[in-house]
Amino acid sequence: MNETGYLRHVLACNPPVKERFVPWYVENQVVGWLRPALVEKLAHRPDVFEIDHAAICLRTDLKSFAARSEALEDVVAWLAEKDWITPPMGEPYPVTPAGREAALCVMDRSAAAYFGVRAFGQHLNGYVRKDDGIHMWLGRRARDRLIFPGCLDNMVAGGLPWGISPEENLVKECAEEAGMTPQQARRAVPVGLVSYNRIAERGYRPDVLYCYDMELSPDFEPQNTDGEVESFSLLPLEEVARLVRDTDEFKLNCNLVIMDFLLRHGYLAPEHEEYLDLATGLRRPMDAGLSVRKQYTET
Amino acid sequence: MNETGYLRHVLACNPPVKERFVPWYVENQVVGWLRPALVEKLAHRPDVFEIDHAAICLRTDLKSFAARSEALEDVVAWLAEKDWITPPMGEPYPVTPAGREAALCVMDRSAAAYFGVRAFGQHLNGYVRKDDGIHMWLGRRARDRLIFPGCLDNMVAGGLPWGISPEENLVKECAEEAGMTPQQARRAVPVGLVSYNRIAERGYRPDVLYCYDMELSPDFEPQNTDGEVESFSLLPLEEVARLVRDTDEFKLNCNLVIMDFLLRHGYLAPEHEEYLDLATGLRRPMDAGLSVRKQYTET
């Protein structure tokens, strides 16, 4: 992997899959991917799952959203009790073959990570237009955070649980992370998404980050209220781009959000040698590199 | 297929592949996809191609950009003389496994369409911010045009040949299609791309359209100078979105360019049921639905 350049971050967020994952079906649609070792454990739960060599399926007699969610809650408690997964966080996440609104049931956030379920998040680019161009607000993550302590981060970023609209959740995150009023927060403009498929300790992690832009007045200054951010700084976009391109200072997925910003605001142009690979690489389908696909052959 | 909705245009631009295409390799990288019937004809040219049951390869002893391009020019003239392809247009197009800058040689635009080579284009969204929101300039294509006569089109759109920079080509297109000065044209902001893979009469057609936004003053009015546009009109973005969603008035690929605009400007939000499928569907890799990919299996 190159030590500088933009595309290396896309590759880091979408590593080659060097182990086998078993597709998980709900209502005949793939909603996740599990390690074989977890599938073996779930073979002890024929009341909830049907398993063959190639797939694990939620029982089709679990016919409603509620019935499926209850069965999964029971299984998750059982797995946690056996110490096979980390304890539930009490935060329901959608289990979906497609977008968030197409969820077929929910399961605990912590357990979802083992089931290779798509996770949704929201990242906000806070920026100021000055005479010398765009400047972007960045957060520096607190040193005591479990993940990427001390790394650079987007001004506002967080996970998107079930049961709250993206708009309302963003208002909440903007208050906690940057001290914004709901009125300020609602000025955020949804501008697309980035998606990628990590391999984490707990399993396959297909992530979707909804991206938002917010143009701020020069006198606005973000104030962290939840202790997750050590400090904020406002940097020229050229310097932000350099930090992405030449360093590993950012929390990994923030690099993708900023590269998407650079593409949308004309900072990166079609003349750039990585342009096409970046544009397509920032929007990976959930099963990229996993699913079996066959070339059409004449019959 | 639904008769309304945004996603149907993504599906129309990326139809399922129901015939076999043979991958074309240059320097061990796939640069195109050919119908088997054309491959059979090219078997008569062992001076240029090596062919087996699964692939067609440009001879590896053609070592330079110039040598490869000359060999292809000769083959294209031979194919056209036999009446197996339409006559060359005299416009060289890049032959590339990735972005435009990574081209390994060039071949005539007309012939490239039979060889399943990626084609690059540029589309410009010309818009005006008014008190009641964004309004967008649309062109109505001349009735005598070969492709999509009388359909709606982006304000400026055209193919991007080899040997001219994207920036300079856009200046040329802005002058021809909308009567803009170079100074005006250079205010266009590159904002990303859409990519899709059509099946056309001549063959597999992976297209990349570089997208540009240009905010215009309320007194600007586009003037067509090359006869390709019958008229222009300035419509509220809601009406433009409705035309995309509920009608087939637009030239097919313009729908994708406008949906990308709607995503980037917050007109479509994550709450929309097609959001995720649209965002990923607008950026398809060249070989989507074609290439053989294998699931990882433990050894």
Hey, are the CB atoms on B99 and A165 less than 8 Å from each other?
A: no
Residues A56-73: pLDDT tens digits? 999 999 999 999 999 999
Residues B208-225: pLDDT tens digits? 999 999 999 999 999 998
The predicted pLDDT at position A62 comes to 96
pLDDT band at residue A298 using 50, 70 and 90 as cut-offs: very low
Fold that domain A22-115 belongs to in CATH: Transcription Regulator spoIIAA (3.30.750)
The full DSSP string for B60-98 is TT--SHHHHHHHHHHHHHHHHHTTSSPPP-S-EEEE-SS
**Minimal-distance CA residue of chain A relative to B102:** A273
pLDDT at A177 over 90: yes
In single-letter form, the type of residue at position A145 comes to R
**Chain B residues close to A195, C-beta within 8 Å:** 276, 279-280
Instruction: Establish if B227 touches chain A: CB-CB under 8 angstroms.
Output: no
Q: What number is the average pLDDT over the span B37-43?
A: 96
Q: What φ, ψ does residue A151 adopt, rounded to 5°? A: -85, 160
Q: What number is the average pLDDT over the span A41-70?
A: 95
Instruction: Choose the mutation target among A215, A276, A291 for the interface with B, i.e. most B CBs under 10 Å.
Output: A276
pLDDT at B202 over 50: yes
* Intervals of CATH 3.90.79.10 along chain A: 7-14+119-281
Q: What number is the average pLDDT over the span B156-171?
A: 95
Helix segments in chain B, DSSP class H: 7-13, 36-42, 65-81, 109-112, 166-178, 182-185, 237-246, 252-264, 275-281
Percent of chain B scored above 90 by pLDDT?
86
**Minimal-distance CA residue of chain A relative to B23:** A295
pLDDT at B6 over 90: yes
* Intervals of CATH 3.30.750.160 along chain A: 22-115
**Chain B residues close to A210, C-beta within 8 Å:** 270
pLDDT at A76 over 90: yes
pLDDT band at residue A293 using 50, 70 and 90 as cut-offs: very low
User: What mean pLDDT value characterizes chain A?
Assistant: 93
Q: What φ, ψ does residue A257 adopt, rounded to 5°? A: -65, -40
**Minimal-distance CA residue of chain A relative to B207:** A276
Chain A nearest-CA distance from B270, in A, is 7
User: What mean pLDDT value characterizes chain B?
Assistant: 93
Three-class SS state of B113? coil
Residues A84-127: pLDDT tens digits? 999 999 999 999 998 898 999 999 999 999 999 999 999 999 99
Hey, are the CB atoms on A189 and B266 less than 8 Å from each other?
A: yes
**Chain B residues close to A98, C-beta within 8 Å:** 276-277
pLDDT band at residue B155 using 50, 70 and 90 as cut-offs: very high
The predicted pLDDT at position A2 comes to 52
Residues B93-136: pLDDT tens digits? 999 998 898 999 999 999 999 999 999 999 999 999 999 999 99
Contacts of B174 (CB under 8 A, 6+ apart): B124, B156, B180, B184, B185, B188
**Minimal-distance CA residue of chain A relative to B284:** A280
Nearest to B67 by CA among B96, B32, B105: B105
Q: What φ, ψ does residue B269 adopt, rounded to 5°? A: -120, 165
Hey, are the CB atoms on A99 and B268 less than 8 Å from each other?
A: no
Q: How many residues does chain B have?
A: 299
Chain A nearest-CA distance from B33, in A, is 12
pLDDT at A297 over 60: no
Cβ pair A222, A178 in contact under 8 A:
yes
User: Positive or negative CA dihedral for B38, B39, B43, B48?
Assistant: positive
Which residues 12-31 of chain A have a CB within 8 Å of chain B? 17-20
- Cα–Cα distance measured from residue B285 to residue B115, given in angstroms and rounded to the nearest whole number: 17
Q: Write the Ramachandran bin of A101: left for phi over 0, alpha for psi from -120 to 50, otherwise beta.
A: alpha
Chain B nearest-CA distance from A197, in A, is 13
pLDDT at A287 over 80: no
Largest Cα separation within chain B, whole Å, is: 68
Q: What is the complex's ipTM, to 2 decimals?
A: 0.91
**Chain A residues close to B279, C-beta within 8 Å:** 192-193, 195, 283
Chain B nearest-CA distance from A77, in A, is 30
Which residues 39-98 of chain B have a CB within 8 Å of chain A? 98
Instruction: Choose the mutation target among B211, B280, B292, B297 for the interface with A, i.e. most A CBs under 10 Å.
Output: B280
The predicted pLDDT at position B4 comes to 84
Instruction: Establish if B199 touches chain A: CB-CB under 8 angstroms.
Output: no
pLDDT band at residue B267 using 50, 70 and 90 as cut-offs: very high
The predicted pLDDT at position B298 comes to 33
Chain B nearest-CA distance from A210, in A, is 7
- Cα–Cα distance measured from residue B233 to residue A143, given in angstroms and rounded to the nearest whole number: 56
Residues B251-262: pLDDT tens digits? 999 999 999 999
- Cα–Cα distance measured from residue B53 to residue B116, given in angstroms and rounded to the nearest whole number: 18
Q: With 0-12 CB in 10 A as exposed, 13-18 as middle and 19+ as buried, what is A57? A: middle
Residues A204-258: pLDDT tens digits? 999 999 999 999 999 999 999 888 899 999 999 999 999 999 999 999 999 999 9
The CATH class, in words, for A7-14+119-281 is: alpha beta
Chain B nearest-CA distance from A290, in A, is 5
Hey, are the CB atoms on B195 and A279 less than 8 Å from each other?
A: yes
Instruction: Establish if B192 touches chain A: CB-CB under 8 angstroms.
Output: yes
Please write down the HEC assignment for all residues of B158-195.
EECCCCCCHHHHHHHHHHHHHCCCHHHHCCCEEEEEEE
